[in-house]
Structure 1
Amino acid sequence: MKAQQFLLPLVLLLSVTLSAHSQSAEVSQRYQKFVTQHINGNMNEYICDREIRTRKITQTNSNDCKERNTFIQASAQLVKRICGDAGTHYSGNLFKSNQPFPIVTCTHRGGARHPRCEYRGHKSTRYIAIACEEGWPVHYEDDDLVIVQ
């Protein structure tokens, strides 16, 4: 189990690095951070603490706990398509997914600094909005709840 926790970030980084060959250095770095913070096909609402701690997700430029982090339960390749034919451009560099995605939103509930952050997870299905640069997702902007009737 511990080996898996250490191998996951390494495998993610390797796959992102190999697929990022056509990006500028800045976009490549931002894309790798996006994948680390927001892509997890096996995520569930019960493992927020572990995933955020393992991936070292904190407030930008600090060690403070992030108030909220959203994980998209899909592959990086599927999410990347939102920057192209699977998304709709709506403002600046923002694109909204044409199809909803299963996501897990982790909301901070205790602890002040990494690695002592505690989170509560909530699973839902939402249309997601991401910022894209050079055709690559680099920022998770927002999401809209899908209401099933």
Structure 2
Amino acid sequence: MGQRIYNQDLELILADGAAAITADGVTQVGGSAASKKVGPGRFEAVLIVDVSALDISSADEVYHLLLQGSSAANFSSVETLAQLSLGATAARPGGAVNSVIGRYEIPFITEQHDAVYDYIRLYVDVAGTTPSITLKAWIAERY
């Protein structure tokens, strides 16, 4: 199967893959936490995640990638707009096989339960003995 081609807008990069993620937190671009304003109004897009390294050596590592939305630039309140769980089969919910490196595509909409979230960011929640994931992530608008 062929891979879809997406335009990459430099303004919509959420993770640059410069360093492995080994602790919970917001992904970074250029050493700073990355958040983007995509509003005002409803925004339909795809979160593209290119995983280049993934540690599942202890069979208990799990990585929850949460695309979070907020109506405030400081993310004083947060809503999860999309989620992807990667990791070892035994550790991740609904996992039939171990996750692998490669591309993951997660469609999302910034409008949830009649509220629009103009700001977005990617938060990674890690767990396990030796969690380490390296990824690049960006938003591609759906046409």
For the superposition of Structure 1 and Structure 2, which TM-score range results when normalised by the shorter chain? 0.3 to 0.5
Greater helix proportion: 1
Greater strand proportion: 2
Relative to the length of structure 1, the TM-score reads 0.32
Relative to the length of structure 2, the TM-score reads 0.33
